[in-house]
Structure 1
């Protein structure tokens, strides 16, 4: 058996942080949208920003999907760790109450 510990607070905080990043990815538009020649100064640069925007939309959605999955995995993991910890604590309490001299078992 290996000695492993889980920092539940850190796992939960990571899930919340990744969820916030996911929200930003899905709500924020391409920062280059709406920039024309009057702002960028050259049609070639406008085209580059437009190409970037098209690529960014595709990649942003992929990243957002992966962030959502990771957030759900971390949330599920923290819940599972808490459930296991609770079950182990209950099992230990049950064992203690059956020990002689603890008031729960034969003397």
Structure 2
């Protein structure tokens, strides 16, 4: 009967995905603007201005990326919880049915 299932969920893949998203979020959280550390190596004021703009834009995009990673991570976690809970409930109901 299990082979007749229309829905198959790879929980291991979801758990691995959640773990990788957590690691990505941690890495992106740990990235800081380092333009002050390397400003002296940029040379002319034109390059410095361009790099400052790039770093400012990167910070904005990094924040948005972190928010998106967080949202996807929560969705993956909810999916894991939902399917594992459903699977446990179905197994419980099957055990009850076999006892009767």
Query: Which TM-score applies when normalising by structure 2?
Result: 0.87
Structure 1's consecutive aligned runs of 4 or more residues displaced over 3 angstroms after TM superposition are none
RMSD: 1.7
**Which whole-Å CA distance do the structure 2 matches of 1:33 and 1:96 have between them?**
69
Pair 1:10-2:13 in alignment: yes
Gaps of 5+ in 2: none
Structure 1 unmatched ranges of 5 or more: 99-107
Q: Highest CA radius of gyration, 1 or 2?
A: 1
C-alpha separation in 1, matches of 2:70 and 2:36: 25
Identify which of structures 1 and 2 has the higher relative contact order when contacts are C-alpha pairs closer than 8 Å and 6+ apart: 2
> Structure 1, residues 58-102: CA drift from partner, whole Å, max 9, x if none?
11111101101111111111011100000000111111111xxxx
Counterpart position of 1:34: 37
User: TM-score scaled to structure 1, two decimals?
Assistant: 0.82
Equivalent pairs, count: 97
